[in-house]
């Protein structure tokens, strides 16, 4: 899965959509392949039009991937699971949920939402293609032999490609092995039957590993006998599925003992904070010199968390000016949201927290945004050790 901070593209329905650097490689490859394909399908269109259509088609394809992941995200949010964001990367897209589902039913609904959305995309593109070019014309476009080399034929070809690639991904994604959506559906069914999420994860992951071996074997055959590029790509997909399946089991083992714990159960509930109205000279002497910490949370007069104040920022202000400036003046931009969690967030949601990894701590606030505690990496590690 994507690692590190992705590049933000937009916010869609309140969900951050970003791209991993590996996505640009796939975008380039798809445009390159499609440019040649469309040039052959539209032989009298010149060079510019096939390239422009290839770019448009690639972007529409990735838009359909985002819509697929939004299906997961919307259903997850409706079931009380917050979404860290959606990332596009080398092997498609992923909706990053802050915690796992608490029941088999919720797990099933979240997993099934993405494929359902993709099915609707396939139906919409087929419907649009038939309405535009007619049944026979769209069938010809699917075969990359449009009846007319004009805007109608070019549009039908684009819609046909989108319909076919989404249909192919829908079928592949429904294979019953983790980390595919079909594997998550299979896990939900096994969870319902066994009542044990960890056992259900092992079953679905085992299916995922079996499919990974099958894909790797098929990829090697294709690389040797048919198409080197397609075969290598299939091997890479198989390796990814196998690794992700093993990671799912490891994650399940880690979270099994803490799945009922929330942030408030392990946090330090007596945090030391800087008052926003306190002058910088007092803040420096009474907090930074006294405790020796590199940062402190800043709160307003009612205790609401505003963000972080760093020692280096305070010491960057000349001593003569510190008396006339307050702690609130130097709150780091964005830290009020980046390093904030809710006290009732599941503890397992922090296992992959980039903010916790970067700072070593996150600020826990209640539903009103009032600072209630601080949770550090040490707190999380102790909770994991206790649970094992």
Helices (H), 98-257: 104-142, 151-173, 181-194, 197-225, 228-255
Take residue 356 and report the two structure tokens written for it: 């916790």
Helix (H, G, I), strand (E, B) or coil at 89: strand
Helix (H, G, I), strand (E, B) or coil at 42: coil
What are phi and psi for residue 249, nearest 5 degrees? -65, -45
For tokens 């000349």, name the residue. Answer: 318
Q: Give the residues across from 88 on adjacent strands.
A: 19, 93
Candidate list 69, 145, 225, 312, residue with the active-site label: 69
Q: Which residues contact 358 (CB under 8 A, 6 or more apart)?
A: none
The C-alpha atoms of residue 338 and residue 336 are separated, in whole angstroms, by: 6
Our measurement of the distance from residue 45's CA atom to the centroid of its chain's CA atoms, rounded to an integer in Å, reads 39
User: Annotated catalytic, 69?
Assistant: yes
Cβ 154 vs Cβ 49: under 8 Å: yes
The C-alpha atoms of residue 107 and residue 101 are separated, in whole angstroms, by: 5
Q: Give the residues across from 375 on adjacent strands.
A: 362
What are phi and psi for residue 4, nearest 5 degrees? 80, -170
326-365 burial: b if 16+ Cβ within 10 Å, else e: bbbebbeeebbebbbbbbebbbbbbbebebbeebebbbbb
The C-alpha atoms of residue 347 and residue 310 are separated, in whole angstroms, by: 26
Helix (H, G, I), strand (E, B) or coil at 378: helix
Helix (H, G, I), strand (E, B) or coil at 364: strand
Kindly list the catalytic residues: 69
């Amino acid at each position: 899965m994507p690692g590190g901070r992705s590049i933000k593209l937009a916010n869609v329905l309140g969900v951050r959509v970003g791209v991993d650097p590996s996505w640009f490689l796939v975008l380039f490859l798809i445009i390159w392949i499609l440019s040649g394909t469309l040039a052959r399908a539209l032989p009298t269109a010149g060079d510019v039009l096939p390239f422009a259509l290839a770019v448009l088609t690639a972007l529409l394809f990735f838009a359909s991937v985002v819509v697929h992941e939004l299906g997961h995200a919307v259903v997850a949010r409706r079931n009380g699971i917050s979404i860290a964001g959606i990332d596009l990367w080398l092997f498609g897209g992923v909706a990053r949920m802050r915690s796992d589902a608490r029941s088999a039913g919720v797990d099933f609904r979240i997993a099934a939402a993405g494929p359902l959305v993709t099915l609707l995309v396939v139906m919409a593109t087929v419907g649009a293609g038939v309405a535009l070019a007619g049944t026979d014309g769209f069938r010809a476009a699917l075969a990359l032999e449009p009846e007319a080399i004009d805007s109608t034929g070019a549009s039908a070809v684009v819609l046909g490609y989108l319909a076919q690639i989404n249909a192919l991904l829908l079928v592949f994604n429904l294979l019953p092995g983790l980390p595919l959506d079909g594997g998550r559906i299979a896990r939900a069914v096994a969870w319902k039957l066994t009542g044990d999420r960890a056992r259900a994860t092992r079953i679905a992951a085992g299916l995922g590993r079996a499919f990974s071996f099958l894909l790797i074997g098929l990829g090697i055959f294709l690389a040797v006998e048919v198409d080197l590029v397609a075969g290598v790509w299939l091997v890479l997909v198989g390796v990814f599925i196998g690794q992700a399946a093993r990671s799912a089991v490891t994650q399940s083992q880690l979270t099994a003992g803490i799945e009922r714990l929330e942030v408030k159960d392990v946090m330090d509930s007596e945090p030391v904070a800087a008052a926003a109205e306190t002058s910088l000279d007092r803040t420096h002497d009474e907090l930074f010199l006294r405790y020796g910490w590199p940062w402190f949370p800043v709160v307003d007069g009612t205790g609401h968390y505003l963000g972080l104040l760093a020692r280096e920022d305070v010491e960057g202000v000349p001593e003569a000016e510190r008396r006339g400036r307050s702690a609130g003046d130097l709150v780091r931009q964005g830290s009020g949201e980046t390093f904030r969690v809710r006290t009732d967030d599941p503890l397992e949601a922090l296992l992959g927290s980039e903010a916790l990894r970067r700072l070593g701590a996150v600020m826990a606030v209640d539903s009103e945004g009032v600072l209630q505690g601080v949770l550090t990496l040490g707190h999380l590690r102790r909770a994991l050790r206790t649970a094992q």
